[in-house]
Amino acid sequence: MSPAAPPNAIAITGASSGIGAALSRQLAQSGRVLALIGRDRARLEQVAADCRSKGASCRIGCLDVRDTARLSDFLDAFDREQPIDTFISNAGILDGRHADQEVEDGKTARLVLETNLLAAIDAVHMVLPRMRQRRRGEIVLVASLAALVPLPDAPAYTASKAGLLSYGVALRDAVAAEGIKVVVACPGYVSTAMADIHLGPRPGEISADAAAALILRGLRRNKDLVGFPLVPFWLSRLNLLVPEFMRRRGLRGARFHVGQNPPPALPRDES
Ligand SMILES: NC(=O)c1ccc[n+]([C@@H]2O[C@H](COP(=O)([O-])OP(=O)(O)OC[C@H]3O[C@@H](n4cnc5c(N)ncnc54)[C@H](OP(=O)(O)O)[C@@H]3O)[C@@H](O)[C@H]2O)c1
């Protein structure tokens, strides 16, 4: 009898809500071990319960991804227990100009960049050395179509996602020969708690489940970029080629401001 296949281990940041929760539920199956990372313990427990009901085992990392020491300890312990096959960096925040502002403030810009870009790159470096030793692994970075469409209402968000996109595409080429896949996802509008605070038009919005399915299909196909919906993705790519005055004119109908972050549905517990 051939030995049982080792469990498939997947770590996901931002698993407590929206796209990350949908990815976790879709990945859940018997023989899988999922590490679910986020700040809200109660929502993580709920996602874990859903995943366990589909046969997966779950570990919960209730922490802030900007806390590099705690994230690194958690990922190291998980990798020692189950070598990580797939790491999905999905945690992110949207912030920018609020209704009473012309431009976002500096504190907001720093928080957005720390969460969406620096913490994601730090996390990659926590999992990459062991993947390189094993000469296998998959990394998914959830960026945004905003990476391709400079948003005057959220410049730091734009920069964080553009940075993540460039980083991911560059890293993909750097590690491909070592058997490691890097896939960058660029979702358009997705109906999640994040979209709820984007107070402006959200054309082409799709559900979190649909977004997760497209990201996982892109991962299975080892696509370098997974952009959706398709028409906005290609328009966004072309957008970078047109003269600035035309690009700016095209964006006029897309202005927005950011609403207050809704209070978390359940109390946070970062203990
Ligand atoms: N929704 C869209 O229209 C859209 C479009 C393009 C790209 N995206 C990207 O998709 C990703 C997921 O967003 P979403 O729409 O699913 O939003 P969401 O429902 O608000 O989920 C965001 C997730 O990120 C986690 N998170 C945020 N800051 C964190 C931190 N400092 N430490 C740990 N976890 C943190 C949240 O965890 P807690 O709540 O537990 O803190 C939550 O699980 C983000 O990177 C976002 O930029 C979203």
What is the number of domains present in the chain? 1
In a domain, 132, yes or no: yes
In a domain, 263, yes or no: no
Token pair 């199956």 in the structure block, residue: 29
CB distance 195 to ligand 1 below 6 Å: yes
Range 78-83, long-range pairs (CB < 8 A, 24+ positions): 78/9, 78/11, 78/35, 79/9, 79/127, 79/130, 81/33, 82/6, 82/7, 82/9, 82/33, 83/6, 83/9, 83/130, 83/134
Amino acid identity for residue 130 in this structure: R
Residue 250: what pLDDT?
A: 81
CA-nearest residue, atom 25 of ligand 1: 14
Residue 130: what pLDDT?
A: 98
Q: What is the CA radius of gyration of the chain?
A: 18
Domain, as residue range, for 177? 8-258
Q: The CATH number of the domain where 148 resides is what?
A: 3.40.50.720
Q: Which residues contact 189 (CB under 8 A, 6 or more apart)?
A: 195, 198, 202, 203, 204, 205, 206
Helices (H), ranges, 135-222: 155-175, 193-196, 208-220
Q: How far is residue 212's CA from residue 216's CA, in Å, rounded to a whole number?
A: 6
Ligand 1: which atom is nearest the Cα of residue 119?
Answer: 31
CB distance 190 to ligand 1 below 6 Å: yes
- C-alpha 91 – ligand 1 centre gap (Å): 4
CB distance 41 to ligand 1 below 6 Å: no
Residue 29: what pLDDT?
A: 96
In order along its 271 residues, the chain shows pLDDT tens digits of 445 555 599 999 999 999 999 999 999 999 999 999 999 999 999 999 999 999 999 999 999 999 999 999 999 999 999 999 999 999 999 999 999 999 999 999 999 999 999 999 999 999 999 999 999 999 999 999 999 999 999 999 999 999 999 999 999 999 999 999 999 999 999 999 999 999 889 999 999 999 999 999 999 999 999 999 999 999 999 988 888 888 888 888 888 999 976 544 434 444 4
CA-nearest residue, atom 2 of ligand 1: 190
Decide if 65 contacts 115 (C-beta within 8 A).
yes
In a domain, 265, yes or no: no
- Catalytic positions, written as ranges: 157
The pair of structure tokens assigned to 16 is 């407590």
State pTM to two decimals: 0.94
In a domain, 268, yes or no: no
In a domain, 163, yes or no: yes
Ligand 1: which atom is nearest the Cα of residue 66?
Answer: 31
In a domain, 152, yes or no: yes
Residue 246: what pLDDT?
A: 85
Closest CA to 167 of 200, 112, 124, 231: 124
CB distance 232 to ligand 1 below 6 Å: no
- C-alpha 16 – ligand 1 centre gap (Å): 9
In a domain, 245, yes or no: yes
- Which of the listed residues 19, 70, 75 should we mutate to test ligand 1's pocket, taking the one with most ligand atoms within 8 A of CB? 19
Q: What is the distance, to the nearest Å, from the Cα of residue 170 to the centroid of all Cα atoms in its chain? A: 17
Determine how many CB atoms are found less than 10 A away from the CB of residue 244.
8
Which segments within 76-155 are labelled E, that is strand?
84-89, 137-142
Residue 7: what pLDDT?
A: 59
Q: DSSP assignment, residue 253?
A: G
CB distance 118 to ligand 1 below 6 Å: no
Antiparallel, parallel or unpaired: β 257-258 and 198-199: antiparallel
In a domain, 267, yes or no: no
Residue 216: what pLDDT?
A: 97
CB distance 14 to ligand 1 below 6 Å: yes
